[in-house]
Chains A and B, each alone.
Chain A
Amino acid sequence: MSDTLDSTAAGMQRRSLLKGTAGILATGIAPFVHAQDKIVLRYLGTAVNQDKAIAEKFKADTGIEIQYVAVTTDDVTKRAVTAPNSFDLIDTEFFSLKKIVPTGNLKGIDTKRVKNAGKITSLFTTGTVAGKAVGDQGTAPKKVIFLEGEKSKAFAKAPTQFMSLIPTTYNADTLGIRPDLIKRPISSWAELLNPEFKGKAAILNIPSIGIMDAAMVVESKGIHKYADKGNMTKAEIDLTIKTLIEAKKAGQFRALWKDFNESVNLMASGEVVIQSMWSPAVTAVRSKGIDCVFQPLKEGYRAWASGFGLPATLSGKKLDGAYEFINWFLDGWAGAYLNRQGYYSAVLETAKTKMEAYEWAYWMEGKPAAQDIKSPQGDVIAKAGSVRDGGSYEQRMGGIACWNAVMDENEYMVKKWNEFVAA
């Protein structure tokens, strides 16, 4: 519990003591002394984004060591708020910024020190894809990516020199289905609550994301049209949860899931045929030889994005090292690596130079694979001739309806969500 208290303005000595203890306890890493020249960056994030190959390649290129600290999405936020000295680089979701930035624990990233900052995709800076605006309900990155200054607790309305996070990976989520068990086309979010799939549906039990999926369903069933799905009123939360409770009582859900592996398990075992899902989970089910589709739906996608941030206290060599990592990350190799996993990277043009033409055509342009598509590890994940779910980058990212979000009524929403779980 000690790490819960750090954010309070209690006596300085106790506070720093607690902070230090919390940091050590929380990371599970004993404090150690660095050699004079060697820089080690503690990289806090979720396991999904912490690829060993990226850290190895970076070390080979620059000599700087990355030390991964893997926790869950919610814990990244918790750590950023309560133990801001326990990491040197944070990889967090944009929607968490509403909680982290007001604490002043993040440093604005100086875009003048980031070579490719100007090439970061327009989806983040202006909320457009190929010149067309995409859905900005929820915590769209353009609303939170710029800070008023290096030491700022407020988001800037217009682009500035300082960014809160440098985007790393982002994608657009939809429903995953088992076409072999459903045996008919699925084209709408409403199908999640279709009684046809009674006892064979699942929704994810992370309140802030689950409620968005539920809102997509409610809207597509024509029950209610939200002004902003990512920032509902109390009445809208009530309505959404009521719809979920009715479905749950009727036995619609086989399970709720919280962990990526649970969703893979539910789908692969056939316990569930339609559910909220994440892109790598679909790939994981497929790699078991089971037919699973990340189904594009007519109402659009629920998008998410994560990025790198720097703790406010970072300085000296470590700060230089962190900027070096960010520059290296946007330089293409890492972007190409992530693109090959089915994510999208922040600076597309540098990534393109590190990918084969047929790979780029398959992953980014939605064209049939000219030859077998391999994962970065060398496994064949798509046969020649197959096409990526959701088509090209423009089709998919252009189809964004809303973004993962933290609502103003978050506390009320979590309370109502607990009601749904208990119903």
Chain B
Amino acid sequence: MSASAVSSHAASQPLRAVKPWWQAAPFTAVFVVFFLVPLALTLMVSFWNFNEYELIPGFTFKNYAAIFEGCSHLTDNGDICVTLKTYLSTLKFCVLVWAITLLVGFAVAYFLAFHVRSPGVQTALFVLCTVPFWTSNVIRMISWVPLLGRNGLVNQGLMGLGLVDKPLDWLLFSDFSVVLAFVHLYTMFMIVPIFNSMMRIDRSLLEAASDSGASGWQTLWNVVVPLSRTGILIGSIFVITIVMGDFVTIGVMGGQQIASVGKIIQVQTSYLQFPLAAANAVILLAVVLMIIWGLTRLVDIRREL
């Protein structure tokens, strides 16, 4: 940017104004074609009618109504409606995973940034953190089965130690295993931005804190955490958006028995009920945007960056 600005200093005024637009054009084009247009189409289709095999252009709130049908009262079994229940379940995973990845990710980032002195070791450990991403998503998740299953290693170990007398069923295909897989997968998305923020903290601030008599915890809470909040926020946005839209992890680790919004959308698209799926996607998008809006109210991300 700056180089081109200098070199074109003598150039005419309009050319200077046009150049940056050209630089932004490729990404803008990609963004428009692969994000804005599909999004607009999704929004449009969510108001359409459909039958078994075709979409019928129109404007109806039928799809939205169908999603929230029966949500004003409890079902015969005393349950709340599927949509609310699914969103609550997805939100529950979101909060749990967010809290755990934040704690673990912060701790790992802190260790990497402040305890590991040599940049070489830092890089090596950092690469180590990415190991879970070296195998395919599906293989990684399926490999939990021999570990956590009824006849898996963990249960065999526990029984061998005499801690339990029959295998624990809740280790696999349960809320526990879903959260475990999420944490295993997505802690990395917390570590990277937090580490990045921490590396930019001026070390003399930490010395100043300790010179002024602050304890380790006080320094952590009053100096490191506030200065890492951009990283925390970015990491949180990553984790929350991924978990809200996930259906593969919840499907595999929950034994397909735990509902998620993504799963419902997937089932609907595979039965060619695109308008219903589109309406669901629009609602999901709105919920996620609201969460992110709330988060950015806490931290002014543009100022901090």
Beyond A99-B53, A423-B79, whether A417 also contacts B267 by CB under 8 A is yes
1/0 contact string of B34-46 vs chain A (CB within 8 Å): 0000100110010
For the complex, give the distance between the alpha carbons of A197 and B53 in Å.
39
Q: Is B273 an interface residue (CB 8 A)?
A: yes
Give min CB distance, B167 to chain A, whole Å.
Answer: 10
A1 touches B145 (CB 8 A): no
Question: Please, which residue of chain A has its CB at the minimum distance from the CB of B277?
Answer: A4
Q: Complex formed: what's the CA distance from A69 to B142 in Å?
A: 25
Interface assignment of A256: CB less than 8 Å from any CB of chain B: yes
Closest to A417 in B: B267
Contact B259 A257 (CB under 8 A): no
The distance in angstroms between the C-alpha atoms of A103 and B55, with both chains bound, is 11
| Distance of A229 Cα from B38 Cα, bound (Å) | 39
B20 at the interface (CB under 8 A from A): no
- Find chain B residues with CB under 8 A from A199 CB: 169
Say whether B274 faces chain A, with CB atoms less than 8 Å apart.
yes
**Which A residues are CB-close (under 8 A) to B146?**
269
Checking B82, B89, B257 against A418 with a beta-carbon cut-off of 8 angstroms, the contacting residue is: B82
Contact of A270 among B151, B169, B264 (CB under 8 A): B151
Q: Which of A101-141 contact B (CB under 8 A)?
A: 102-103
Residues of B within 8 A of A270 (CB): 149-151
Looking across the interface, which residue of chain A has its beta carbon closest to that of B273?
A: A411
Complex: how many Å from CA A265 to CA B57?
43
B55–A422 touching, CB < 8 Å = no
CB nearest neighbor in B for A418: B264
Contact B264 A271 (CB under 8 A): no
Q: Does B263 belong to the interface (CB within 8 Å)? A: yes
Chain B nearest CB: distance from A21 CB in Å?
10
Task: Tell me if A421 and B259 are in contact (CB < 8 A).
Answer: yes
Q: Is B157 an interface residue (CB 8 A)?
A: no
Closest Cβ neighbor of B40 among chain A residues: A1
Interface centre among B77, B152, B271 (most CB of A within 10 A): B271
CB distance from B91 to the nearest CB of A (A): 14
Give the distance in Å from the alpha carbon of A255 to the alpha carbon of B250 in the complex. 12
Binds B, one of A70-78, A156-164, A361-369, A383-391: A70-78
Task: Determine if A255 and B255 form an interchain contact, defined as CB atoms under 8 angstroms apart.
Answer: yes
CB-CB under 8 A for A5 and B41, given A269-B151, A419-B82, A421-B259: yes
* CB of A323 within 8 Å of the partner chain: no
CB distance from B239 to the nearest CB of A (A): 23
By a CB distance below 8 angstroms, the chain B residues around A2 are 38, 41
- A8-B57, A102-B52, A270-B150 given; A258·B256 CB < 8 A: yes
Q: How far is the CB of B59 from chain A (nearest CB, A)?
A: 14
With an 8 A cutoff between CB atoms, is B245 at the interface? no
Distance between B104 CB and nearest chain A CB, rounded to angstroms: 27
B142 x A410 contact (CB < 8 A): no
Partner of A421, one of B38, B145, B173, B263: B263
> What CA separation (Å) do A65 and B65 show in the bound complex?
49
Whether A414 contacts B54 by the Cβ 8 Å rule is: no
Are A422 and B272 neighbours in the complex by a CB distance under 8 Å?
no
A102 vs chain B, min Cβ distance (A): 5
Min Cβ gap A74→B in Å is 4
Q: Say yes or no: is B66 at the interface (Cβ < 8 Å to chain A).
A: yes
B residues near A102, Cβ cutoff 8 Å: 52-54
Q: Does B122 contact A (CB under 8 A)?
A: no
A10 touching B57 in the complex, CB below 8 Å, given contacts A1-B42, A74-B271, A265-B145: yes
Task: Report the nearest B residue to A81, measured CB to CB.
Answer: B53
CB-contact partner of A1 in B38, B169, B272, under 8 A: B38
CA distance A417 to B82 in the complex (A): 10
Tell me whether B267 and A414 are in contact (CB under 8 A). yes
Structural contact, B267 and A207, CB atoms closer than 8 A: yes
Over the window 215-255 of chain B, the binary record of Cβ atoms lying under 8 Å from chain A Cβ atoms (1 yes, 0 no) is 00000000000000000000000000000000000011001
Cα distance A303–B248 when bound, in Å? Answer: 29
Give the complex CA separation of A417 and B259 in angstroms.
11
Q: How far is the CA of A254 from the CA of B42 in the complex (A)?
A: 36
Q: How far is the CB of B149 from chain A (nearest CB, A)?
A: 5
Enumerate chain B residues within 8 angstroms of A7, measured Cβ to Cβ.
53-55
Q: Is B268 an interface residue (CB 8 A)?
A: yes
Residues of A within 8 A of B89 (CB): 422
Cβ B55 vs Cβ A5 within 8 A: yes
Assess the B257–A253 pair: CB atoms within 8 A.
yes
Q: Is B270 at the interface (CB under 8 A from chain A)?
A: yes
Residue of A nearest to B276 (CB): A411
B140 at interface, CB cutoff 8 A: no
Is residue B172 contacting chain A, with contact meaning CB distance below 8 A?
yes
**CB–CB B145/A269 < 8 A:** yes
A256 touches B57 (CB 8 A): no
The 9 lowest CB-CB distance pairs between A and B, nearest first, are A255-B255, A422-B259, A256-B256, A74-B270, A1-B38, A99-B53, A7-B54, A205-B256, A4-B274
Interface residues of B (CB under 8 A from A): 38, 41-42, 45, 52-57, 66, 77, 79, 82, 85-86, 89, 142, 145-146, 149-152, 169, 172-173, 251-252, 255-259, 263-264, 267-274, 276, 278
5 A-B residue pairs with Cβ-Cβ distance under 8 Å, sorted by A, are A4-B274, A270-B150, A410-B271, A421-B263, A422-B259
Residues of chain A touching chain B, judged by Cβ–Cβ distance below 8 Å, are 1-2, 4-5, 7-10, 72, 74-75, 77-78, 81, 98-100, 102-103, 199, 202, 205, 207-208, 245, 248, 253-258, 262, 265, 269-271, 406, 410-411, 414-415, 417-419, 421-423
Additional 4 contacts, C-beta under 8 A, given A10-B57, A258-B256: A2-B41, A74-B270, A205-B256, A253-B257
